[in-house]
Amino acid sequence: MGTPDIRYVAKAEAGQGWRIWDRKARRWWGQPYQHYPEQLPAELGGDKRPEQLTELIRRTPRKQGN
């Protein structure tokens, strides 16, 4: 019981925007994003579909200046 083992979570970073944290590797994944990337953590933790993941990364606006 308890919480499910979710590997990727989105976290807000002050002044940085939203980042995706890899709980297993204990490091940031990818670049900061302007808005909450709701589909990216779900896709990273779900079925292994590289083409879908690539499309989501392209469509999600990144934080400018990084």
Task: Look up tokens 């990084």; give the residue.
Answer: 66
Q: What does the alpha-carbon distance between residue 16 and residue 10 come to, in Å, rounded to a whole number? A: 12
- Residue 48 pLDDT: 85
**1 in any annotated domain:** no
Global confidence as pTM: 0.79
**65 in any annotated domain:** no
Q: State which residues form the domain around 47.
A: 8-59
Q: What is the pLDDT of residues 50-61, one digit of tens each?
A: 999 999 999 988
Number of domains in the chain: 1
Mean pLDDT on 39-48: 90
**50 in any annotated domain:** yes
**64 in any annotated domain:** no
Mean pLDDT on 7-15: 92
- Residue 1 pLDDT: 61
- Residue 2 pLDDT: 66
- Residue 52 pLDDT: 93
Q: What does the alpha-carbon distance between residue 53 and residue 66 come to, in Å, rounded to a whole number? A: 21
**20 in any annotated domain:** yes
**2 in any annotated domain:** no
Task: Look up tokens 């934080």; give the residue.
Answer: 63
